[in-house]
């Protein structure tokens, strides 16, 4: 047998027992109030956009997809209402990500984890799953009782569980289903999916997202925020002393005790706080914490404890917002008898707003002024130059024309650079001498082989810049590219 | 063997009985679900022996119930690829040669196909971009020994030059020096005359009249009046700026003395007709086609 360790023999670094603490299941209670209403509203809005956006139509003319938001991977196009992006314009997404990141910073410096509490998919879907659970199994107490009960399950309880999981899976399945609709024509794909003729990859993605939604919102819930998500850690570096966070206002006095006892103590002239220790803020918390312990890593700042506390304060005739969006500065000011100050406009928020405005403005500007006609030129490498029988020099180029507009274009190619040059495009008989005209179909690229020939006399340089101008005959739009004309 | 395992009161587990310098190892067996999964995978693996090729025999191996083999699977994939290409190449084979360049889709296909086949078959002599080398014509320029129209290019690819094929291009530069037709000084004189045809400088004091006389007597038969060349004979134009074997005096003397008879193989029979067609279009589209 091993010797029993005497606690006195342990140094301070020693620890006894396993380091693992099992999760305590959270049973959030239903609550009503301002923030709950905001959350319901945002949930309806976010889910409404997510689930129904693929069905919104947008007319782009014949032959183009009529879906307002579509990621067309096979044809490498992204459609967003009136915007159509090509793969080489992916930098718009970079801009969008910058704006999104800075907007997150801005939210954080104004109102803390607004994203976490109201907008994050994890929060929205978990909230929805809790609502389903509450509807079927009852509120906090009933659910706790049912989970603890060791009686053999009755049919009623079994049917409750089956119903809950069925509805959860249905929501999860719809979540995965909506996802794939962004990648294909939604009505067509829905028809294909229900008749089991959809592409295999669509079913696979629906399966994956059904599983993640069901597991993350049904089982993992607040653990995702506490253990998996990096954002709670990042935000510690982004918040400052002015940011309004969900705060228990301990300036409203301490010693938390029951209403009755508080009245007695007050009569005796003792210090008593407004908090009556009803634990309603803890009961409604979706992450299972006690906000009165101060700001905590687990807190997603959803404001439900504010609603819970306000309801209690109203009942006992005390001022609302014992828990509220507040900060330490104001708590200290009130303790010193000064009026609270709220400073939304400060260096941090101004800089964030400026970055958002600058990046957003630049994106809108470039998007509005971008050319829908483009040309790329690539010089032949082998041979770089060819001497013809009359001694003149010819260079060959691969020209790629891009027509990003929704209509066919007739374009003319002009080249200037070496003296007395002539231009020829393989397969095109020029109507106008040395000005080949080509039709580029709508929303596509054309690759041409273009030959530039110039006499050796009058072009003594080894390398002469040559400019190619591509002109839309109808609209006069011009795109240009420059390369070199090289002597052998 | 003695069992040295003991109970550890701190963790509530027993030890394995192993001890290193006073450090004892707790007995923490693998979870049961893990062990069961592990044994299930072993059982599952037996299935592979049965359905897939597995055990080596003396001269072969067990083939498995599915009869699968990577070689057969590759053959199927290659056949699918061929079928896929076949459709497109059929369109190319059906199109008249002259119309291919006018259809952007067919032109792109012919150029893509032609480029690949050119790289595999022609590049060793003509260079990967068709730029040629001494004795191997540059296919990008406009100087053609046997004609630069689509039909002429296709004919040359099909039957070759001095290839031994029944329909091949024949005709060669005779070895005037080696065969004793011209003497040394006559060769030098006519070489200078040939240089003068394309405006190249000549050796001081060479007899132009004598050069012209030798040229008319010996060269005009193939190279034509004034040395303009003859596509029927593959005789190059001596008045232009392009020289397959070099234009300096020494190179010309070598050509006239030793003769020239470069060979290009016939590709008919080695490449299918549609591929030869694609090649003709590709070579024509390099830029020099007439």
Span A234-282, pLDDT tens digits: 887 788 889 999 999 999 888 888 888 888 888 888 888 899 999 999 9
Q: How far apart are CA B220 and CA B230, in angstroms?
A: 10
Distance from CA of B248 to the nearest CA of A (A): 16
Mean pLDDT, range A354-377, rounded to an integer: 94
| A386 part of a folded domain | yes
- Token pair recorded at residue A132: 């389903």
A17: nearest CA partner in chain B:
B11
Span A107-147, pLDDT tens digits: 999 999 999 999 999 999 999 999 999 999 999 999 999 99
pLDDT of B1: 53
The verdict on A220 and A113 lying in the same domain is yes
| A65 part of a folded domain | yes
The verdict on A47 and A148 lying in the same domain is yes
What percent of chain A stands above pLDDT 70?
96
The verdict on B153 and B123 lying in the same domain is yes
Lowest mean pLDDT among A14-28, A83-97, A208-222: A14-28
The verdict on A386 and A419 lying in the same domain is yes
| A340 part of a folded domain | no
Span B102-121, pLDDT tens digits: 888 899 999 999 999 999 99
| B176 part of a folded domain | no
The verdict on B78 and B208 lying in the same domain is no
pLDDT of B67: 87
| B223 part of a folded domain | yes
| A451 part of a folded domain | yes
- Give yes or no for residue A26 having a pLDDT over 90: yes
Q: Which domain holds residue B222?
A: 184-258
Distance from CA of B32 to the nearest CA of A (A): 20
- What is the DSSP pairing of strand A393-403 with strand A444-454? antiparallel
- Give yes or no for residue A478 having a pLDDT over 80: yes
The verdict on B143 and B217 lying in the same domain is no
Q: How far apart are CA A298 and CA A289, in angstroms?
A: 7
Span B130-153, pLDDT tens digits: 999 999 999 999 999 999 999 999
| B132 part of a folded domain | yes
| From B9, B130, B143, residue closest to A4, measured CB to CB | B9
The verdict on A272 and A194 lying in the same domain is no
Q: pLDDT band at B188, cuts 50/70/90?
A: very high
The verdict on A139 and A157 lying in the same domain is yes
B4: nearest CA partner in chain A:
A1
Instruction: Return the top range by mean pLDDT from A88-92, A377-381, B62-66.
Output: A377-381
| From B9, B131, B241, residue closest to A383, measured CB to CB | B131
Lowest mean pLDDT among A179-183, A222-226, B98-102: B98-102
The verdict on B253 and B139 lying in the same domain is no
The verdict on A322 and A417 lying in the same domain is no
The verdict on B135 and B243 lying in the same domain is no
- Give yes or no for residue A25 having a pLDDT over 50: yes
Mean pLDDT, range B126-132, rounded to an integer: 93
pLDDT of A262: 87
Contact with chain A for residue B108, Cβ under 8 A: yes
- What is the DSSP pairing of strand A323-326 with strand A245-248? antiparallel
- Token pair recorded at residue A87: 């793969």
| B35 part of a folded domain | no
Contact with chain A for residue B287, Cβ under 8 A: yes
The verdict on A405 and A324 lying in the same domain is no
Three-class DSSP category at A247: strand
B140–A386 C-beta distance less than 8 A: yes
The verdict on B211 and B270 lying in the same domain is no
The verdict on B147 and B189 lying in the same domain is no
Q: Say if residue B222 carries a ligand binding annotation.
A: yes
| From A16, A382, A391, residue closest to B131, measured CB to CB | A382
Closest CA to A425 of A445, A451, A399: A451
Contact with chain B for residue A387, Cβ under 8 A: yes
The verdict on A140 and A60 lying in the same domain is yes
The verdict on A121 and A202 lying in the same domain is yes
Q: How far apart are CA A269 and CA A460, in angstroms?
A: 105
The verdict on B99 and B217 lying in the same domain is no
Q: How far apart are CA B265 and CA B271, in angstroms?
A: 12
The verdict on B84 and B132 lying in the same domain is yes
Mutate: best of A2, A381, A456, partner B, most B CBs <10 A: A2
Q: pLDDT band at B236, cuts 50/70/90?
A: very high
Q: Say if residue B1 carries a ligand binding annotation.
A: no
Q: How many CA atoms lie within 13 A of B170 on its CB side?
A: 4
Mutate: best of B10, B126, B139, partner A, most A CBs <10 A: B10
| A358 part of a folded domain | no
Interface list for A 388-447 with B (CB within 8 A): 388-391, 394, 396, 426-427, 446-447
Q: Which domain holds residue A258?
A: 246-329
pLDDT of A238: 83
Q: How far apart are CA A438 and CA B221, in angstroms?
A: 46
Q: How far apart are CA A373 and CA A401, in angstroms?
A: 8
CB contacts, 8 Å: A386 with chain B: 131, 138, 140-141, 287-288
- The answer for residues whose C-beta is within 8 angstroms of residue A146's C-beta and 6 or more apart is A137, A138, A157, A160
- Give yes or no for residue A46 having a pLDDT over 60: yes
CB contacts, 8 Å: A447 with chain B: 108
pLDDT of B87: 86
B9–A2 C-beta distance less than 8 A: yes
| A281 part of a folded domain | yes
Mean pLDDT, range A375-400, rounded to an integer: 93
Q: Residue A153 forms beta bridges with which residues?
A: none
Span B153-167, pLDDT tens digits: 999 999 999 999 999
Interface list for B 120-139 with A (CB within 8 A): 127-131, 138
Q: Say if residue B233 carries a ligand binding annotation.
A: no
pLDDT of A460: 81
Q: pLDDT band at A1, cuts 50/70/90?
A: very low
Domain boundary among A192, A216, A236: A236
Please tell me the total count of domains within chain B. Answer: 2
Domain boundary among A275, A302, A329: A329
The verdict on A297 and A409 lying in the same domain is no
The verdict on B160 and B269 lying in the same domain is yes
- Token pair recorded at residue B243: 């020289």
Q: pLDDT band at A14, cuts 50/70/90?
A: low
- Token pair recorded at residue A459: 């072009």
B109: nearest CA partner in chain A:
A447
B288–A4 C-beta distance less than 8 A: no
The verdict on B123 and B244 lying in the same domain is no
| A319 part of a folded domain | yes
| B245 part of a folded domain | yes
Q: How far apart are CA A273 and CA A260, in angstroms?
A: 13
Mutate: best of B8, B17, B104, partner A, most A CBs <10 A: B104
Distance from CA of A474 to the nearest CA of B (A): 22
A389–B241 C-beta distance less than 8 A: yes
* Helix, strand, coil abundance in chain B, percent, nearest 5: 45, 10, 45
| B16 part of a folded domain | no
Mutate: best of A393, A403, A427, partner B, most B CBs <10 A: A427
Q: Number of A to B CB contacts under 8 A, please give it.
A: 72
Domain boundary among A184, A218, A236: A236
| A366 part of a folded domain | no
B138–A390 C-beta distance less than 8 A: no
| ipTM of the modeled complex | 0.78
Q: pLDDT band at A401, cuts 50/70/90?
A: very high
A427–B102 C-beta distance less than 8 A: yes
A387–B131 C-beta distance less than 8 A: no
A1–B7 C-beta distance less than 8 A: yes
pLDDT of A467: 96
CB contacts, 8 Å: B138 with chain A: 383, 386
Span A67-118, pLDDT tens digits: 999 999 999 999 999 999 999 888 899 999 999 999 999 999 999 999 999 9
pLDDT of A427: 85
| B50 part of a folded domain | no
| From B9, B240, B287, residue closest to A396, measured CB to CB | B287
Angstrom CA distances, A40 to A47, A118, B243, stand at: 11, 9, 85
pLDDT of B114: 95
Contact with chain A for residue B11, Cβ under 8 A: yes
Place of tokens 């929060």: A123
The verdict on A146 and A226 lying in the same domain is yes
Q: Residue B117 sits in a domain of what CATH number?
A: 1.10.760.10
B138–A386 C-beta distance less than 8 A: yes
Q: Say if residue B264 carries a ligand binding annotation.
A: yes
Please tell me the total count of domains within chain A. Answer: 3
Q: How far apart are CA A87 and CA A75, in angstroms?
A: 10
The verdict on A69 and A156 lying in the same domain is yes
The verdict on B110 and B252 lying in the same domain is no
* Helix, strand, coil abundance in chain A, percent, nearest 5: 45, 20, 40
| B175 part of a folded domain | no
């Amino acid at each position: 047998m091993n010797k029993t360790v005497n606690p006195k023999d342990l140094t301070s670094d020693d620890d006894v027992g396993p380091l693992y603490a099992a999760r305590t299941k959270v049973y959030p209670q239903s609550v009503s109030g301002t923030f709950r209403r905001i959350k319901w509203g945002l949930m309806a809005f976010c889910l409404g956009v997510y689930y129904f956006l693929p069905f919104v139509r947008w007319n782009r003319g014949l032959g183009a997809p009529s879906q307002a938001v579509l990621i067309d991977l096979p044809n490498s196009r992204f459609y967003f209402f009136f915007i159509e992006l090509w793969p080489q314009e992916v930098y718009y997404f970079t801009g969008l990500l910058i704006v999104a990141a800075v907007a997150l910073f801005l939210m954080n410096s104004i109102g803390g984890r607004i994203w976490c509490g109201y907008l994050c998919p994890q929060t929205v879907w978990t909230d929805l799953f809790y609502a389903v659970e509450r509807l079927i199994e009852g509120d906090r107490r009933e659910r706790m009782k049912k989970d603890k009960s060791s009686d053999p399950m009755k049919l009623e309880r079994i049917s409750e569980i089956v119903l809950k999981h069925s509805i959860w899976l249905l929501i999860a399945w719809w979540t995965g289903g909506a996802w794939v609709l962004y990648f294909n024509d939604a009505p067509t794909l829905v028809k294909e999916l229900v008749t089991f003729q959809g592409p295999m990859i669509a079913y696979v993605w629906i399966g994956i997202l059904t599983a993640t939604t069901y597991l993350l919102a049904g089982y993992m819930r607040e653990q995702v925020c506490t253990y998996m998500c990096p954002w709670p850690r990042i935000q510690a570096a982004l918040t400052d002393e002015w940011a309004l966070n969900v705060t228990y206002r301990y300036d409203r006095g301490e010693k938390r005790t029951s209403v009755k006892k508080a009245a007695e103590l007050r009569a005796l002239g003792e210090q008593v706080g407004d908090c009556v220790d009803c634990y309603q803020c803890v009961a409604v918390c979706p992450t299972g914490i006690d906000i009165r312990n101060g700001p905590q890593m687990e807190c997603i700042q959803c404001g439900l404890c504010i609603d819970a506390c306000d309801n209690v304060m109203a009942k006992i005739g005390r001022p609302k917002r014992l828990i509220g969006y507040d900060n330490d500065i104001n708590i200290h000011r009130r303790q010193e008898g000064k009026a609270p100050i709220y400073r939304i406009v400060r260096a941090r928020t101004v800089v964030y707003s400026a970055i958002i405005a600058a990046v957003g403005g630049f994106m809108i500007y470039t998007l509005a002024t971008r050319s829908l006609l483009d040309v790329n030129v690539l010089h032949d490498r082998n041979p770089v130059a060819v001497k013809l029988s009359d001694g003149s020099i010819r260079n060959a180029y691969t020209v790629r024309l891009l027509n990003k507009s929704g209509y066919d274009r007739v374009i003319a190619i002009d080249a200037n650079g070496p003296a007395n040059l002539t231009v020829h495009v393989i397969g095109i008989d020029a109507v106008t001498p040395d000005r080949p005209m080509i039709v580029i179909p709508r929303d596509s690229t054309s690759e041409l082989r273009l030959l530039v020939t110039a006499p050796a006399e009058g072009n003594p340089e080894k390398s002469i810049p040559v400019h190619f101008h591509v002109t839309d005959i109808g609209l006069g739009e011009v795109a240009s590219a420059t390369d070199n004309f090289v002597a052998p | 063997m003695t069992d040295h395992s003991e109970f550890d009161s701190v963790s509530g587990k027993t030890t394995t009985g192993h001890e290193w310098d006073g450090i004892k190892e707790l007995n923490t067996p693998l979870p049961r679900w893990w062990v069961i999964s592990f044994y299930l995978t072993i059982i599952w693996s037996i299935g592979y022996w049965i359905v897939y090729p597995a055990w080596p025999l003396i001269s072969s191996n067990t083939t498995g119930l599915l009869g699968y083999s990577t070689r057969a699977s590759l053959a199927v994939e290659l056949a699918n690829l061929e079928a896929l290409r076949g459709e497109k190449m059929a369109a190319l084979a059906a199109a008249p040669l002259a119309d291919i360049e006018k259809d952007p889709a067919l032109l792109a296909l012919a150029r893509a196909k032609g480029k690949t086949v050119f790289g595999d078959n022609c590049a060793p002599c003509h260079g990967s971009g068709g730029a040629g080398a001494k004795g191997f014509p540059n296919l990008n320029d406009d100087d053609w020994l046997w004609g630069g129209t689509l039909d002429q290019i296709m004919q040359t690819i099909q039957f070759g030059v001095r290839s031994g094929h029944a329909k091949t291009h024949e005709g060669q530069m005779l070895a005037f020096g080696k065969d004793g037709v011209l003497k040394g000084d006559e060769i030098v004189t006519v070489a200078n005359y040939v240089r003068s045809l394309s405006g190249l400088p000549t050796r001081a004091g060479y007899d132009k009249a004598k050069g012209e006389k030798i040229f008319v007597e010996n060269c005009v038969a193939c190279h034509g009046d004034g040395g303009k060349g003859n596509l029927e004979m593959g005789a190059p134009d001596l008045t232009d700026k392009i020289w397959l074997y070099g234009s300096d005096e020494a190179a010309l003397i070598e050509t006239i003395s030793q003769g020239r008879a470069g060979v290009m193989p016939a590709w008919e029979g080695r490449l299918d007709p549609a591929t030869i067609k694609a090649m003709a279009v590709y070579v024509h589209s390099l830029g020099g086609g007439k």
